[in-house]
Amino acid sequence: MNTEKISALLLTIEKGSISAAAEQINYTPSAVSRCIQSLEKEIGLPLLKRSKSGVEVTEACRNLLPDFRRVIQDESLMREHASQIAEGLSGTIRLGICYPAFYPWLSAVMADFKTYYPDVHYIVNHGFSTVLMDQVISCEIDLCLISRRDDSYGWVPLLDDDLVAILPAEHPLAGADAVPLSIYEDAPYLELHSYKDTDNTRTLDAAGVHPRSIIHLGDSSALYPMVEAGLGIGMENRINTLRHEGSFVVKPFCPPQVIPLGIAYRDDVLPVTRKFIDHLAASKDSFLDRII
């Protein structure tokens, strides 16, 4: 199967229109359209719905997207192997990151790795752990730094983090050693990223705790000033609290709510990506030094 056709399809989906994809690769729109039509004819299924506003994927295309991405990945793997034989390691490392506290360590490791492999390039995404894990599975990215989701992928453990309560300084439990999850049943709960599959949501659901009064927050930076103002109580991964200071207290839960953090990756990554994962794992102690 001609990967040029698949690349044209994927770029069109990414850009939202045939003309935008054509401009990106310096093709004419008609040339891109012919590539996609030829691919549709080859596999016997419609892949795009064309409209005045752009393009939309068909249900068949949505189901085939992981396969299309895998074909491109396989070709890239072959080219990478050839490059490795001819010149040494090079390529693009696509990674995702969930927690901002990872950035200083990750940036230092990326810079150090580039001294060994100067031709390497990086694409860095940010998102929720579940979303990034789905992107690894669908071959959109190669690895991600997240809280653990399941066991169907490679995993390098970095840190056992924990969830903590964020309380106003004058809260009745501000002086307690630890607090129960049940405090969220009745107190106003400042819920981060409502309706997303977060560690907070998973933990409350598993404990059977269902807050009755919720203020929905889409931006985590809003949590701390709202707690300080007495608008409610919050919950965070402890690693996310390290860059915040103010008139609030951070308390562990009883029982503790442990969240394993680490590097998730596919086994079929490019050689340069495998080297980078090994480099990250070898630099684990420097990460812990920055966090603890």
* Residue 264 located in a structural domain: yes
Based on the fold, state whether residues 150 and 264 are members of the same structural domain.
yes
Under 8 Å between Cβ of 261 and 147: yes
* Residue 14 located in a structural domain: yes
pLDDT band at 151 (very low <50, low <70, confident <90, very high): confident
* Residue 194 located in a structural domain: yes
Based on the fold, state whether residues 273 and 250 are members of the same structural domain.
no
132 residue type, one letter: L
Q: Which residue bears the tokens 């694409």?
A: 123
* Residue 237 located in a structural domain: yes
Q: Is the dihedral of CA 193, 197, 203, 204 positive or negative?
A: positive
The pTM (predicted TM-score) of the whole model is 0.71
* Residue 69 located in a structural domain: no
CA–CA gap between residue 266 and residue 77 (Å, rounded): 13
Last residue of a domain, one of 18, 45, 64: 64
CA–CA gap between residue 229 and residue 235 (Å, rounded): 16
* Residue 188 located in a structural domain: yes
Based on the fold, state whether residues 52 and 106 are members of the same structural domain.
no
Domain membership of residue 130 as a residue range: 74-157+260-291
Q: Tens of pLDDT along 81-94?
A: 676 645 556 678 99
Based on the fold, state whether residues 281 and 153 are members of the same structural domain.
yes
Q: Tens of pLDDT along 167-222?
A: 999 999 999 999 999 999 989 999 998 888 999 999 999 999 999 889 999 888 89
Count the domains in the chain.
3
Q: Which residue bears the tokens 């068909």?
A: 58
Based on the fold, state whether residues 206 and 237 are members of the same structural domain.
yes
Task: Residue 280: give its domain's CATH number.
Answer: 3.40.190.10
Last residue of a domain, one of 19, 45, 64: 64
Based on the fold, state whether residues 146 and 86 are members of the same structural domain.
yes
